[in-house]
Structure 1
Amino acid sequence: MGTTWGTIGGVFGVSLGVTVLVVVMFSLGVAAWARAGGGAPRHGAHRDRSHRDRSERVAAAAAVACFAACLATAAYGIDLIVPG
């Protein structure tokens, strides 16, 4: 039984790519969550309240989408590992 280095290299490459993708998606989610206010109310007056509310909602939706992508990737990985 021989070692197929090409297959090992392919698995390594895919694993590295997926890992980088998940880390980037999680980082973008954290950044979007911070831009959305992180769930904490902000104090102070702001002239264009409706624009800020909309941008905070868009940032919160982007954060949820990024976190959902990370969760889906983790769930898929667990599904691949655990026998059905």
Structure 2
Amino acid sequence: MSIDWAALGQVFGISLLVTVGFVGVFTLGIVGTSRKPQQAEAGPDTTSASSASAGAAFGPARAGAYACFALCAAAVAYGISLIVI
């Protein structure tokens, strides 16, 4: 029995890179969904327009977070399909 050490090293390296990338993308999704707009102090001069514009600024971050989660789900589905098929 002989072990192809070069092939084993390639599998290890690619597995490590894919794992780190997968965890990074999932972390970006968590950070994107955990951000909340900062509320201005409640005072007599506070308007609802300023709070609405603050909430609108986080729309792209939340959409990006959902895209990260969708990418993770697609990677998991691809991995399962490789195992099953």
Q: TM-score range by the shorter chain?
A: 0.7 to 0.9
Output the CA distance in 1 between the equivalents of 2:79 and 2:70: 14
Structure 1 stretches of 4+ moved >2 Å = 44-51
CA deviations over 1:1-34 (Å, ceiling 9, x no partner): 4211111111111111111011111111000001
What is the correspondence of 1:26-37 to structure 2 with a 5 Å cutoff? 26-35=26-35, 37=36
Find the counterpart in structure 1 of residue 25 from structure 2: 25
- CA RMSD, aligned part only? 2.2
- Is structure 2 residue 3 aligned with structure 1 residue 3? yes
Output the CA distance in 2 between the equivalents of 1:59 and 1:7: 40
Identity across the alignment (%): 43
- Is structure 2 residue 12 aligned with structure 1 residue 12? yes
1:72, CA displacement in angstroms? Answer: 0.9
Compute the TM-score of the two structures, normalised by the length of structure 1: 0.77
Moved more, 19-28 or 50-59: 50-59
Structure 2 unaligned blocks of 5 or more: none
1:77, CA displacement in angstroms? Answer: 1.1
- Is structure 2 residue 66 aligned with structure 1 residue 76? no
Output the CA distance in 2 between the equivalents of 1:11 and 1:53: 45
Compute the TM-score of the two structures, normalised by the length of structure 2: 0.76
Find the counterpart in structure 2 of residue 63 from structure 1: 65
Find the counterpart in structure 2 of residue 51 from structure 1: 53
Structure 1 unaligned blocks of 5 or more: none
Output the CA distance in 1 between the equivalents of 2:15 and 2:80: 14
